[in-house]
């Protein structure tokens, strides 16, 4: 199993008691020679309902100190879909594997960064400044996260 899927499983298992979680199925594809088709893509990985808020969550696990914009394609849809609806928020939860640090950051802040700066990636320094650190504990070989405070902040 790849590191991204492990992170996703660990994070979902760590959601606070009393939260509702819905994992959106990934679009599948099939290939026939040079003709490849895919189903439509989702706006995010999961929908979490927690203490009166619906949170659209896109989970990312990445090596290095920045995340390429190509890995954050959902930022526009998340920002647009959540902008005008009270109680609905779009967030990225980014696990920086090399640093053993995980942050939650609003999708609108990711969009703002992409539009304002001429870069090709989102640096961890920006995520640290504007996001929320999610405490994590290594339990033998897998992690346990504590996203409660971060989820309350949305």
List the chain domain ranges: 3-24+49-152
| Element housing 122 (H / E) | strand 121-123
Fold of 3-24+49-152: Trna Endonuclease; Chain: A, domain 1 (3.40.1350)
> Which tokens belong to 18?
């009393």
**How do residues 24-67 score in pLDDT, each as one tens digit?**
987 655 555 555 555 557 889 999 999 999 999 999 999 999 99
Among 5-14, 36-45, 60-69, 99-108, name the one with the lowest average pLDDT: 36-45
Contact by Cβ (8 Å): 147, 104: yes
Whole-model pTM: value is 0.83
Angle between helices 107-116 and 75-83 (to 10 degrees): 120
Distance of CA 138 to the CA centre of its chain: 20
Per-residue pLDDT at 105 exceeds 90 = yes
Residue with tokens 């989702």: 42
């Amino acid at each position: 199993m790849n590191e991204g899927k492990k992170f996703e499983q660990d994070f979902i298992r760590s959601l606070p008691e009393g939260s509702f979680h819905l994992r959106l199925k990934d679009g599948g594809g099939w290939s026939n020679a040079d003709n490849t088709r895919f189903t439509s893509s989702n706006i995010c990985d999961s929908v979490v309902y927690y203490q009166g808020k619906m949170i659209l969550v896109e989970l990312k696990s990445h090596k290095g100190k920045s995340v390429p914009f190509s890995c954050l394609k959902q930022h526009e849809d998340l920002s647009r879909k959540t902008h005008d609806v009270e109680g609905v928020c779009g967030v990225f939860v980014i696990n920086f594997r090399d640093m053993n640090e995980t942050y939650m950051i609003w999708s609108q802040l990711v969009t703002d960064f992409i539009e304002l700066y001429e870069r090709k990636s989102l640096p961890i320094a920006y995520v640290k400044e504007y996001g929320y650190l999610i405490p994590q504990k290594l339990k033998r070989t897998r992690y346990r996260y504590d996203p409660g405070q971060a989820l309350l902040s949305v």
